[in-house]
Chain A
Amino acid sequence: MKATNNSRIPEPQVKVPTLAILQLTRFGDLIQTTQAIEDLKKSHPDYRVILIARSQFAKPLEFLLKRFFTKIYYLDTKKIFENSEVQGLKASHDSLNVFLGDLSQESIDVLINLSFSKSSAYLASLIQSEHKIGTFFDYSNKMQINDKWSQVVFSTVMRGALNPYSIVDLFKNIIGIRSTEAKSAPAVTARTNTIIVHPFASQERKAWRAEKWVEVIYRVLKENDSCTIQIVGAKNEVLKSQLITENPLLKTFGHRIQNMTGKTSLAELSMELKKAKLFVGHDSMVGHLAAVNNTPTLTVSLGSVRPYETTPYHSNAYNLAPRTKCFPCFPSDACSYNQCHHDIPYQIVSASIKQLLEQKEISSDWIKANVSSFHMSSVNFYKAKIVKGSLHLDSLIDNHQDSTDIFRSLYRVAWSFVVNDTEENLPFPKLNNNSHRDLLAALTGLQHLFELSEFGKKYSRFILEEISSQTPSINRIKEYSKKIDEIDQLQALVQKTSPQLAPVIDYLAVRKANLYGDSVVKLTESSYYAFEECGNLCSILFELIENTIAEHKLTAGKLGPQNKQV
Chain B
Amino acid sequence: MDMLKEDLNREINRIKEKLEKSTAMNEEDLKMVLLSMLLEEDLHEGN
Contacts and interface: CB of A to CB of B under 8 A. Distances in A.
Interface of A: 56, 75, 77-78, 80-81, 84-85, 88-89, 92-93, 96-97, 100, 117-119, 122-123, 125-126, 137, 139-141
A84 B32 CA distance: 14
B13 to A, nearest CB: 13
Given A122-B34, A126-B30, A140 B3 contact: no
Q: Closest 10 A-B residue pairs measured CB to CB?
A: A89-B7, A84-B4, A119-B37, A122-B34, A139-B24, A88-B3, A88-B7, A139-B25, A77-B42, A77-B38
Contacts of A88: 3-4, 6-7
A65 B44 CA distance: 25
Interface size class of B (residues with CB under 8 A): 20 to 34
Contacts of B2: 85
A15 to B, nearest CB: 27
B42 A122 contact: no
Q: Main SS of chain A's interface residues?
A: helix
Interface of B: 1-4, 6-8, 11, 19, 22, 24-27, 30-35, 37-39, 41-42, 45
A93 B28 CA distance: 9
Given A85-B4, A89-B11, A119-B34, 7 more contacts: A80-B38, A88-B4, A93-B32, A93-B35, A96-B35, A126-B31, A139-B25
A119 B30 contact: no
B37 A89 contact: no
A92 B4 contact: yes
Contact of A81 (B4, B34, B37): B4
B43 to A, nearest CB: 10
Contacts of B41: 77, 117, 119
A313 to B, nearest CB: 25
Contacts of B24: 139-140
A93 B31 contact: yes
Contacts of B19: 140-141
Contact of A141 (B7, B11, B25, B37): B25
Contacts of B4: 81, 84-85, 88-89, 92
A80 B25 contact: no
A139 B23 CA distance: 9
B34 A126 contact: yes
6 contacts: A77-B41, A78-B42, A85-B1, A88-B6, A93-B32, A139-B26
Contacts of A84: 1, 3-4
Contacts of B35: 80, 89, 92-93, 96
Most buried by A among B8, B31, B41, B42: B31
B30 A137 contact: yes
Contact of A89 (B8, B30, B38): B8
A81 B31 contact: no
A85 B34 CA distance: 18
A96 B8 CA distance: 14
A140 B22 CA distance: 8
Nearest to B35: A92
B9 to A, nearest CB: 10
A293 B22 CA distance: 52
Contact of B37 (A56, A93, A100, A122): A122
Contacts of B8: 89
A1 to B, nearest CB: 63
A118 B37 CA distance: 7
Q: Which of B3, B4, B41, B42 is the most central at the interface, judged by chain A CB atoms within 10 Å of its CB? A: B4
Nearest to B11: A89
B17 to A, nearest CB: 12
Contacts of A96: 31, 34-35
Given A88-B3, A89-B11, A119-B34, A81 B39 contact: yes
A312 B19 CA distance: 43
Nearest to B26: A139
A170 B7 CA distance: 39
Nearest to B27: A126
Contacts of B30: 122, 125-126, 137, 139
A122 B41 CA distance: 13
A58 to B, nearest CB: 14
Given A96-B31, A126-B27, A119 B1 contact: no
Nearest to A75: B38
Contacts of B26: 139
Nearest to B2: A85
Nearest to B37: A119
A75 B41 CA distance: 13
A56 B3 CA distance: 24
A139 B18 CA distance: 11
Nearest to A95: B35
Contacts of B6: 88
A44 B17 CA distance: 47
A449 B7 CA distance: 48
A387 to B, nearest CB: 37
A123 B37 CA distance: 10
